Structure 1
């Protein structure tokens, strides 16, 4: 009778070690990201990278950034960002597979490879990672996005995104942007002003909300139209207390292709 095959001890030990390491990584990630549901991050990876962007020098690049809570933001800021960047934000669970499929289809037909990142993915990237689009970064981004979607309500994702998104060459967060461009707190932003800020998100280093180009103004007008249509559909009613953030909402369909973000 043949003896049953047994794995060498070293392989069993290696498997247990890898399983333990993977479990520890998942636990640490859950604890770290879960704590940010209540603790406001003092900075972000993108802000730190910006501050240290002069190689070989101890001089820090000044960054305008001021954290504010959700209650101190105009709802128009959230509406404009959703309309501009991720109209299915309240429906998906971190990944918009429809947008990903459409982007790949356009690419296979010979068009440029356009981004299909959701607001959740952008928050993970800006808060923890780096801008270069590599396979490793995209993998980490997806990993962190899963935990954010599981552990944070949608309102918290929006709150953090609006506090760390870049709105100008050295301006981060909706409060700093509102004061720099419109000389008012973010709580007082109108839809027109919020749309102009959201319009520069694809290229905050080369697009200006203070002196907008015709293309930025066109994009801002498109964003305002989208906000109005999303309101009519009742879609934006889902932005409220955390317990309402995942409620059933109508499927939003853009009225038209957004204008190119080029200045």
Structure 2
């Protein structure tokens, strides 16, 4: 029993050390590849991505992400417990399933983990969320998120999305274009930012209207 406890303690220390080093490296270097990208490669779809510093991405893209995904991004510590509670209540009432994940949680999942996986993956996601909030800060979290989030089948990051959908780089995104990319983020394999229809168009229009709210209310102050 003592041997087992010592082995578990040693394994835990190694895990913590390796993951802290891993997160620390990504504080300064772009994540070269993700498990989600690997899935596209295995499926034969290929991957299109182009790392772009946050300073070269139109600020309305970050505002659109905040408006569409995480309005309290700049004020929470990685977890928006109000959003989580609201999502749980909505799901318990049998309404359309929604998550309460923040941009920080989504970034942790996208950068270090895989899609799906149930409670074990969610626990790991929470652990990595704490690490990136502590070691990266909000601006770096947003930068990584906007560069590795899936924005279409085989398409990752807003630079690749801007070129794919609008034929110009992310520096020149209009508010409408940024909102349309943000509207794709929840279901990138089923949605397209170009000529969106139905609920996707309505969601994009709502995000577009809220970009100005995010700017005026300073909800993007941690990344601007």
TM-score by length of 2: 0.94
Tell me the distance in 1 between the aligned counterparts of 2:98 and 2:199.
Answer: 18
Q: Which moved more, 1:190-199 or 1:97-106?
A: 97-106
Query: In structure 1, which of residues 40, 43, 46 is the aligned counterpart of residue 33 of structure 2?
Result: 43
Partner of 2:147: 163
Cα shift at 1:173? 0.9
2:94 and 2:174 map into 1 onto residues whose CA distance is 39
In the alignment, the residues of structure 2 paired with residue 144 and residue 114 of structure 1 have an alpha-carbon distance, to the nearest angstrom, of 22
Kindly indicate whether structure 1 or structure 2 has the higher relative contact order, using CA contacts under 8 Å at least 6 residues apart.
Answer: 2
Structure number with higher helix proportion:
2
Query: Aligned match of 1:20 in 10, 16, 19?
Result: 10
1:133 to partner: Cα distance: 4.7
Residue 213 to residue 232, structure 1, CA distance change in 2 (3 Å): same
5+ residue gaps, structure 1, are 1-10, 54-59, 241-263
The Cα offsets for residues 54-76 of structure 1, whole Å up to 9 and x where unpaired, read as xxxxxx42222111122221111
Match of 1:30 in 2: 20
Compute the displacement of 1:20 (Å).
2.2
Q: 1:226 to 1:133 in 2, by over 3 A?
A: farther
1:74 maps onto 2:58 in alignment: yes
Distance change >3 Å, CA 220–CA 112, structure 1 → 2:
closer
The answer as to whether partners of 2:138 and 2:222 remain within 8 angstroms in 1 is no
Select which of 122, 134, 147 maps to 2:106. 122
Aligned length: 224
Higher Rg of the two aligned structures: 1
Q: TM-score, normalised by structure 1?
A: 0.80
Aligned equivalent of 1:106 = 90
Taking the TM superposition and a 5 Å limit, the aligned residue runs for 1:147-186 are 147-186=131-170
1:208 aligns with 2:192: yes
Aligned-residue CA RMSD in angstroms? 1.5
